[in-house]
A and B are shown apart, each in its own frame.
Chain A
Amino acid sequence: MQWETVIGLEIHAQLATKSKIFSGAATAYGAEPNTQACAVDLGFPGVLPVLNEEAVRMAVKLGLAIDAKITPRSVFARKNYFYPDLPKGYQISQYDLPVVGLGRLDIEVDGVSKTIGVTRAHLEEDAGKSLHEDFHGASGIDLNRAGTPLLEIVSEPDMRSAKEAVAYMKKLHSLVRYLEICDGNMQEGSFRCDANVSVRPKGESKFGTRCEIKNLNSFRFVEKAINFEVERQIEIIENGGTITQETRLYDSVKDETRSMRSKEEANDYRYFPDPDLLPLDIAPEFIEQVRGSLPELPDAKRARFQSQYGLSDYDSAVLTASRELADYYEAVAKLAASDAKLCANWVMGELSGKLNEDGLEIGQSKVSAAQLAGMIQRISDDTISGKIAKQVFETLWHEGGTADEIIEKQGLKQITDTSAIEGIIDGIIAANPEQLAQYRAGKDKLFGFFVGQAMKATQGKANPAQLNELLKKKLQ
């Protein structure tokens, strides 16, 4: 039996506003418990919500970036249920009329493009946090997070593999950071993913019963959880069972999903329009103003990198994965004003390697775009070789300075004088008659030996191209 996997993702992105969606309390992460929960957030009697303009703007930005329709009149609704991290006993969300309508996001998996539909995106408030550390049998509730704006982005059930799901999630993650509407910090809970997974026989058009896997907070876990869940469901069905629609949690230690002891058992949310809020009218002028403020989006930037810098699709994709990285690259390319491909190689290669090693983001790079560009210029103008450049880069990373200063200080200038190189070659040939004989007898591999000797003699400063050419001639 051939099975098809059907996946839909619900992503909650915490919007990077300074204040909460319905109150003027701060949203900064990491504050002492309940120091950023004002009367409105605590649900005191008599308090009322007032909508944050920036949250609306951010929602519209996302909507435009995924080619979605912006709902001209959207409505806030109350989702009623009881839980200690929900002070009012209801969450203000959107139900029938979300602010963002149908849109789409293009993804790429193993070189194959696919469009994933986005059903809707709506604004809502986040709940607080329950800390289950034992307070003598009690739970501690921190309501700092209560009221933080969330944008819930719901995809169509268009994904057919865990890989596609991860690609979609990564694309959306990159997009919200591009738009500067969300910092995407999954450890801090700024970007949370719930996956709806079901299976059906290949060719079947009806959807199978789905299970929801909640709160996946890394790309890796999303992939593993989905894969496990798919296997679990297939096994059940193949053994004659049926899937119970339920909510499940992913256990990353055991690498399995398990049923949540339902806190939402038979929950009836009794949605109705929140009478404390008026309908949100978004005028075409507002939408155009937001559109005008949109940055260049990832796909457009990727295409431009290919045409403007002559980079391959792969390189463009890597460099535009994040806006910061793309901006860094462009700064380097502009300043170096020479080989765009060389710049790309350095950014994707040595620089990225160093960042990964030290666990840093591009914004924390110890080598600035200007410094890197300066060094790349010296490669382009043959002042130093690519190999020597690695040395320069190390120094830049650990000690700072400019490429020129380092080249000067360490005496790293390339030797390009033909007669000088010839002289060195002569010396090496003279010192190694056996190898010379063997080489001339046909042992081609020894060419590398001579190159190595020459490099050693020149402390790597001989211009490789020239060295090769001259060596070839002299060894004959």
Chain B
Amino acid sequence: MRSHAERGNDELAPLPVGRGVGVRAGFTTTLSIFPTIMHNKTLTELSAGLATGQYSSRELTAAFLARIQQHNPQLNAFITVTAETALAQAAAADQRRAQGQAGPLTGIPMAHKDIFCTQGVKTSCGSKMLDNFTAPYDATVVAKLNDAGMVMLGKLNMDEFAMGSSNESSHYGPVKNPWDLNAVPGGSSGGSAAAVAARLAPVATATDTGGSIRQPAAFCGVTGIKPTYGRVSRYGMIAYASSLDQGGVIAQSAEDCALLLNAMAGFDPRDSTCVDQPVPDYTAGLGDDIAGLRIGLPRQWFGEGLSNDVAQAVRAAVGQFEQLGATVVDIDLPHAPYCIPCYYVIAMSEASSNLARFDGARYGHRCENPKDLLDMYMRSRGEGFGAEVQRRILIGTYALSAGYYDAYYLKAQKIRRLIAQDFQQALQQCDVIMGPVAPSTAFDLGSHSGDPVQMYLEDIYTLPLNLAGLPGMSIPVGFGDNQRPVGLQMIAGYWQEGLLLKAAHRYQQNSDWHTKRAC
């Protein structure tokens, strides 16, 4: 790990921020073209700024596009930048505003993880398999945010088919962590987290199957929320593991997340697993007091394997919650250790089936000159999928194959129920479960490339949530020994996103970790 002094002329050398010290960046003039540093504003601030006419959506969009142009080559957060359509959308948004028809999100730039189908725009899912795929329809999430008048800056980089915890498996190259270019941003929503952390977009959509929102949010010092399974429509969200995938938000704050979740959440008749549960206004009640909030700390999550600096930052954050009136109890998640094999069997099995449609027949990559049908399948898929995806398809295929279903998939589904029951029991003793997001801060690029299992162990605290289908958040609560951000994981019961956002917001009103910027 290079010291600060050694980093020399990196344009994006992060500020040396110590713990507990809030330093606002009045930074590096070579980077910022616009005197009003619009890109540093939160979604909430931008919404107000647009509403009061401080700037137009066109100006805002142009500012972000310029910033992307400058910094993306280094960070590689964007796969596709949709400059022309963004400016057109911004113009339309300004017009809506002029006609008095603007909502809270109208005209605000954002970016989508490249897992959401965007009609007429390349949707690659980080894979060579879909490098030539222009989606013929909009995902429901995309349509909803379009309807809210948001402006799409582009599509964000990700681990291939959402399989990864470091954004190193993308066909389009790894994403760099804006806090430290030698570090991974986390995955699979590495592009989303890096883009928000570097303020290339004020907010981004993302997805979480085993931690893919929470972990990159933690690694990049930003706020992320994975809602309850069934809260957000999966229609148009390219499937990895159907019973675990959920769409969510990465933003600068809980307040920003709430604004976006309001627009994203809701029943979709096109998704059988989407639940017809009324969507509350997640922004209402954000300012509420949290005195009496019961926090549960799982014993199993604070044992061996958790690095000290992370443990310290997490405990400090919990201490801060106590200052705000919360009480703390120790709870147990007895089946915690089994979440990893359980998750991977289920995820890989479902993925092996979900990815069978990528066969070169109707869209996507087809190999050159297939000599027969079998050749077309074998080579299109062999060429189109990267190594990690291939590994998971192979495991999943094996786990479901004749004679193994009971031992693997069925067994995993049973353990899944036990894990969900653990949480239900724990949530009787507390309102919100808190703990670390990852065992350490962001690791170095390339450091986990040898052993796939090592990578899987990174997800130990995040996986169980997806198995249970509960909502979870990650909020920045400090920095590790290597100056890389630390995230706090917060978990609540089904449909308790509002409680999570409220608690997170209260914390963020009384701390400033979320205001720190990488660049």
Q: Residues on A close to B: CB < 8 A?
A: 39, 42-51, 78, 80, 82, 84, 87-90, 139, 141, 268, 270-272, 275-278
Contact = CB atoms under 8 A, between A and B. Distances in A.
A277 B270 CA distance: 11
Could you tell me the dominant secondary structure of chain A's interface residues? loop
Could you tell me the dominant secondary structure of chain B's interface residues? loop
B356 A88 contact: yes
A44 B117 CA distance: 10
Contacts of B357: 43-45, 87-89
Chain B interface size, as a band, is 35 or more
B410 to A, nearest CB: 9
Nearest to A47: B235
Contacts of A45: 117, 123, 125, 130, 133, 135, 238-239, 357-358
B137 A48 contact: no
Contact of A46 (B238, B359, B401): B238
Q: Which 8 A-B pairs have the closest CB atoms?
A: A89-B356, A270-B400, A275-B242, A275-B243, A46-B236, A45-B238, A43-B357, A268-B402
21 contacts: A39-B136, A42-B362, A44-B135, A44-B136, A44-B357, A45-B238, A46-B116, A46-B117, A46-B237, A46-B238, A49-B272, A80-B353, A82-B359, A82-B377, A90-B353, A268-B401, A270-B402, A270-B405, A275-B243, A275-B350, A277-B272
B446 interface: no
B349 interface: yes
B361 interface: yes
A351 B89 CA distance: 69
Contacts of B353: 78, 80, 89-90, 270, 272
B234 interface: yes
A319 to B, nearest CB: 45
Given A49-B272, A268-B402, A272-B409, A44 B137 contact: yes
Interface of B: 116-117, 123, 125, 130, 133, 135-137, 139, 234-239, 241-243, 269-273, 349-350, 353, 355-359, 361-363, 373, 377, 397, 400-402, 405, 409
Nearest to A23: B270
Given A45-B130, A88-B356, 18 more contacts: A39-B136, A43-B357, A44-B117, A44-B136, A44-B137, A44-B362, A45-B117, A45-B125, A45-B358, A46-B235, A49-B272, A51-B272, A80-B356, A87-B362, A89-B356, A271-B405, A275-B241, A276-B273
A474 B273 CA distance: 91
B363 A44 contact: yes
Contacts of A51: 272
Contacts of A80: 353, 356, 400
Contacts of A42: 362
A322 B432 CA distance: 65
Best-surrounded residue of A47, A87, A88, A270 (most CB of chain B within 10 A): A270
Given A46-B139, A84-B373, A268-B401, A278 B273 contact: yes
Nearest to A39: B137
A33 to B, nearest CB: 13
Contact of B270 (A50, A141, A270): A50
A48 B238 CA distance: 10
A45 B243 CA distance: 16
Nearest to A51: B272
Given A48-B271, A89-B356, A272-B409, A43 B239 contact: no
Contacts of A48: 234-235, 270-273
Nearest to B363: A44
A317 B353 CA distance: 49
A139 B400 CA distance: 31
A88 B238 CA distance: 13
B356 A46 contact: no
Nearest to A37: B362
B357 to A, nearest CB: 4
A99 B208 CA distance: 33
Contacts of B271: 48, 50
Contacts of B116: 46
A297 to B, nearest CB: 33
B270 to A, nearest CB: 6
Nearest to A42: B362
A78 B350 CA distance: 10
Contacts of A46: 116-117, 135, 139, 234-239
Nearest to B373: A84
A82 B356 CA distance: 8
